[in-house]
Each structure stands twice: as structure tokens, then as C-alpha cells.
Chains A and B, each alone.
Chain A
Amino acid sequence: MHPHLLSVDDLSREDIERILGRAESFAEVSGREIKKVPTLRGRTVINLFYEASTRTQSSFELAAKRLSADLITLKAAGSAVEKGESLKDTVQTLSAYDPAAIVIRSPHAGAAGLVARWTQAAVINAGDGKHEHPTQALLDLYTLKRRAGSLEGLSVWIVGDVLHSRVARSNILAFTRMGCRVTVCGPPTLIPRGIESLGCRVRHTLDELGSADVVYALRMQRERMTGSFVPSLREYAAQYQIDGRRLGPSQLLMHPGPVNRGVELSAEVIDSPQALIAEQVESGVVVRMAVLYELLAGRGAPSGVPADTETEPQPA
């Protein structure tokens, strides 16, 4: 396993299975009244968020706290970043606190990779531009595996704005690595040229959606309308919205959130038992606990604190 989690590409199938298994055992802890384990006691985790985020940020915070780490969350607004400090200077400043991990969300591809060059801490990519969002992919695998049992051979359709989606990129890599067959589907203007090289096939209509076991809808950002990628949300919804008519009764539905009701998904499917959307959010915490554990528990503890030799998490 790499010292950082920058891309799904860094993970072997065995790495992913180990992380999902670890998340499973943390889920057991989460079911208890006291949801904390001492694994990262005395170690510092820094959340560095250059982009607004609700789910990712809060679940990383909760994950770090449940592992007993000391946590700092910095947002671009109100920090030195707003005063023009470069990413490098910010990271070097924060590194002076000797963090065990830096979790970074940035609007720019490769930002997490850069941070990894400038710090001793383990770096976790919490979304870098339109590049990748590996912990989202892991929590999606975890959620799907819990519901479907096995991932091997599943047909997954990723539908929507693939061009601007880091979730799509990480999930294409993650689903294919676990043995799924991935199809991406969306308007030709929103499917990047060359995406097949990631191991998926491309469709521009939902005609064959019936062959999917899992439909993964992407968020359609309203601001994309200005670039005339699609003529109107109305036309987009008519062509690509997943609704009760298009989603078969045996198909599962996923979405990274937040959902635009009435655009990429109709209200009826969001609230249907086939939808895993709420479970995806729930999985966020335990999967991110597992990622922090993977990257940090194997490393030396800070001086003065005995190294945690437990291999399995124990309730505090």
C-alpha cells in the first residue's frame, strides 16, 4: 500500500478488499453506544478544504474523532489562503504541527499529489479538481458490496456529466478493479474523449440501461448549463433522468449527492428501496476511518506514546 491515498489507481484489489473489511469492523464499533477507538490517540489529522463540502468534510472529521485523533479543519475562506498564501507555504506551515495525516480537497487536479511532495504526513485526496475522489469510490464499493454481496461481474452504468466528475473517474477505476463491467452514459458533450482508456465503454442513450445491475447517477451541475454543454435542463432530464419508468425493479441506484431532484433523478426513485443514497452517506464515516487506519496505524507512533500494536480496532 502506498504511503498516501491520491488515486484509486494506487490501490490493488487486495488493498481495496482489506480497506472494505476494515470498514466492516468499524461499522460494528459504530453500532455501539460509545463509537470511539483509541487507535490514533495523540496523533493529529488536518483537514484542508479549499472547496465547500458537507459530506466529505463532516465524515472525515467524524472518522478522525472516532479514531481519537486530534483534528484541525481549515477552510480556504478565512484562512491565510485567502490572503494569498501559496499551497506550498500553507502545507509547510501546517507540517510544523507534525500531522500524521493531511486530508485535502482542492478545486485543482493534482493538488493532493503536490501536497504529498511537501509534507511528511500521509496525504489523503478528498477530491482534486475533476481528477479523482478515491474515498468516495471506496465508500461506494463498500455500500454496494453490503447490499449486493459480491461485486464481481456486476454491470454498473455511470450516467450523467462524466466530463466534470472526479467521482466518475475514481469510480470507473474502482469498479473495474473489483471486477465490475462499467458503462458510462451521457450527452456526447459531457463524455470526455478517450475515456474508454480507463476500461469502460461509452453509450449516449439509456436504451440499454436495462442490462445494468447498478445505475450510478452523477450530479448535474446547473452551472454547466452556461457552457451550453446541454441545451437545457429540461432536455437533459428528458434524455437522461433516472425515473421510475427507466429504473427496473431489480436495479440498484446510487448517487454521490447532493441530488438535484427532478434533474438527474426523479423523486420517486430517490425514495425507493432500490436507492442506496442514504447508505452511501452512512458508509462515508466507517470507510474513511478504515482509510485513516490503513495509512496511519502501520506507521510509527509519535515519540512518548507507545506504538499501537493492535491489528484490529477495539472499542475504547
Chain B
Amino acid sequence: MSASAAPMNGFGPRAAIELDCAAAPPATVLVRGARLLDPRAELDKLGDVLVRDGRIAELGESLKAPEGAEVVDAEGLHALPAFVDPHVHLRTPGREDEEDIDSGTRAAAAGGFCAILAQPNTEPVVDSAPVLRSLRERARAEARIPTGFLAAITVGQQGERLTEMAELAEVGAAGFTDDGLPVRSAGVMRQALQYQLLAGRVLALHEEDASLSGNGVMHEGEMSALLGVAGIPSVSESTMVARDCALALYEHGRIHVQHVSARETVDAIERAKAAGTQVTCEATPHHLLLTDEAVRTLDTNMKMNPPLRAEADRQALIEALRSGAIDCIATDHAPHAREEKEQPFELAPMGVTGLETAFAALHTGLVLPGVVELGLLVERMTAGGAPFGLAVPSLAPGSPANLCLVDLEAEWDVGDAGYESRSANCAFAGRRLTGRVRMTIADGAVAYRERSFALGAVA
């Protein structure tokens, strides 16, 4: 059977995914004189945006402020559709010392995000309806921006037994993933894909062959040879991606490959897409901007899984970001306690924070040198929810009001003024970045406003 004749699963009968957010009053905001940029809406001009009743009410020039509206002087700023991050670790429940829903969503809003999807590798794992229900309840009290929760594919992320995926989907799981761990067994992976016909939702996959990764903690290459640190070969990721793409094609399943890091993986995904596999994928800012050269000093803020790879890999990711082989940007924001990162590299946990720096880092590293157009970056940073069936934020009139105001000329030193996140293990810590989010409106409410950002008078 050809792929096009495949049943449309992944979004079956339970199509609507609900995100949760603390109640916030819909704002009436008039943004004045911003450069309005939304390539999908074919929008790139100076103008005003009126946000009212949760929607982009009007675009235009010299709009009149409605009574009670907050007027924001956005001269010199860009108004962009806000970003969506499909890959965030909120560490809740279990490690609220590292991040909680409040701090994590505050960090996201400060990075210009209007929606995020949280990963289920918490303590306990989000693998049952009661855990998911309680999380959603907490999000409705604490989340600053709409937040969705993925549930585990297998019980306890042990890779053995499927979770009650149908019930979890009914309770509101935005998708399924064992992120942090691969689904080792091809047989279990196949069953999950088959079960997708019933449960719907996308399977988001952390792709790694544990037998190839061994005890590796960084990319296997010249740098790992120099440092005497065990390496994770690129083929650990790419062979697993090839396996799962083959299974997804065979079962007509829909998969999303998380944090693509290697050139070989890009090749595998391009081949799978060409063959008609329903596969999407994401890449992180750190994999797009850094290489294993940054591991030379054994800085534990350069330790994450998958690891920073070679320059050829980074170039392949950038090319795939341009071509669309990589569908979206995801931060894989992974907070860790300071004492856990202040250890020898081999002992420190994997993961770096990135919500607050994602846009600025990519703007600095890819847009300013002319490698990637700003419009393309905006497209990829807003597209994170699409693989899961979420709407892509837009500035088009009538759309839900999800936008951020950014100053593309503001320079700042990462970490100098602290972080909104509870953790400080940022891959870009200490770097000077250009581009700063001044304000974020998520689902019609003001989710973030930089302290120093002057507010206009209320009309």
C-alpha cells in the first residue's frame, strides 16, 4: 500500500489537543510602529498591531488605541509570531528544585515562546492518567503560557510495556515519548506504532542505540580521542532513526524525531521523507551553533544527549533547517542543579537550558552572519507545535494573539542578569548575544515583559 493511501492516523478521533495555562485576563494592547514580520502570512512591513479579546484584532498604520488599551511604543522593534517549543523539561513532578511549571514557563515566555510541550521523564514518569491529570491541574494554576504534556510510550520508560495510551490521549496527552531514552526494542516500537491507530497522537522519539552509545558522554571523534572520554558515535542515532522510519512507513505511523544531531541522521530522514514516511524532526539551537570543539575544556554545560557533534554535522543541520528537512527548532531545555553540573564531565548529568537564549543565540549565530534569513528562523521557531497538531502562531488578523516583540540590536551577556529558569546550566552562558525579547503575548495575555522595557501610557 502506498503511503498516501495510508489511514490518517496520529490525529485520529481525538484531534484536539488542549494546552493548559493559568487564567490570565485577555489584554488589550496596541503595539505601535513595529516591523511586522510573519513570512507565512506574507507580512513584512512597518505598522501597528492591535491585540484584543485574545486575537490579533487588527493590523495597520496609525491605529487608534481603544479605551483602556496599553500602548506599546515598538519603534525599532520587530513583532514576530511567538515561538513554540515542542521539547521542554519542566522537571515537575520530582525535581522542582531544578525547575517547576511556573519558572519553566516564565523562562519560555522570556524567550518569546507562547506554547511549550513538556517531556514526561519526570519522577514519577508521566505514564498514567492520574499523574497526567494532576500535572494538567497544576499547569492550570501555574503555567504562564499554554503548556502541553507528552506522556510516556512505555511504562516507567522501561521500554517493555506500552502505557495506557488511549486513556492518556483522552486525558489530554499531547503526544507520546520516552525522551531521554530510546525505545530499544524494535518489537515494542512496532506495537506502539500499531497502537497509534487507536490512541492517535504523534510518537516523539529520542533516537539512540544504547549498545553503540555504550558509556559515551560526548561525540565520538577527534576531540573524544584527545580527551580520552568515551564517545557516542553518530551512527548510534542514525541507525535508530533509519529503523524507526522503516517501522513507521510499514505501519503507517507518524513519528517525530527529537533533537537531530548528526549528518547521517539528516540523510536518513531525507530518505524517509522522500519514501513517504510520516516523519517530522526538530533540531536544537546548541546543535545548530556549537560543535564538540566546545567540549575541549570539559565544561559540563557542553554536555547533553545527543552530544555536540562535528562541524560537518552542524553544517548538515543548518542546510536541513534551510531546506525544511528539519521542520522546527526545539530547545530540549533541560535544567540541572548546580551541584550536579559542578562535577567532572563524565559524572555530570546530560542536558542544558535554552529557552531564554534560543532566539538570541540563533539570531546571533545564523542570521547576523547571513547564514539563515530572519524570516526562515521565525518560520522554524514557530513550527514546533505543528508535528503534534497544534496551530502555528500567526500575525494574520483574526489569529489567536501569540506574538513577541524583539529588539534585534540589543546586546546582552547570557547569565549576567541571572535567568528566569531555576537552573543556570545554559549552553550559551557567558556569551554575548544580539537580539532580545522585550515582550511576549501568549494566547491573548501578556506573558512576559522585560523589566527595563518602558511601557507606553494607557490611552
Contact = CB atoms under 8 A, between A and B. Distances in A.
B222 A132 contact: no
Given A129-B229, A193-B231, A110 B224 contact: no
A109 B339 CA distance: 18
6 contacts: A108-B345, A108-B346, A109-B227, A109-B298, A193-B233, A197-B226
A193 B233 CA distance: 10
Contacts of B339: 86, 88
A179 interface: no
A198 B221 CA distance: 12
A88 B224 contact: no
Interface of A: 86-88, 106, 108-111, 113-114, 128-132, 165-166, 169, 192-195, 197-198
B222 to A, nearest CB: 4
B344 A109 contact: yes
Most buried by B among A86, A87, A131, A132: A131
Tell me what chain A mostly uses at the interface: helix, strand, loop, or mixed. Answer: mixed
Given A108-B347, A113-B298, A129-B228, 16 more contacts: A87-B343, A106-B344, A108-B344, A109-B227, A109-B344, A110-B344, A111-B344, A113-B297, A114-B298, A114-B342, A129-B344, A192-B224, A193-B224, A194-B222, A194-B224, A195-B225
Nearest to B229: A109
A131 B228 CA distance: 4
Interface in B189-235: 220-231, 233
A132 B297 CA distance: 13
B343 A197 contact: no
Nearest to A133: B228
A190 to B, nearest CB: 12
B310 to A, nearest CB: 10
Nearest to A131: B228
Interface centre among B228, B298, B347, by most chain A C-beta atoms within 10 angstroms, is: B228
A188 to B, nearest CB: 14
Nearest to A198: B226
Contacts of A109: 227-229, 298, 344-346
A193 B225 contact: yes
Contacts of B229: 109, 129-131
A195 B228 CA distance: 10
Contacts of A198: 225-226
B225 A192 contact: yes
Nearest to A132: B228
B225 A194 contact: yes
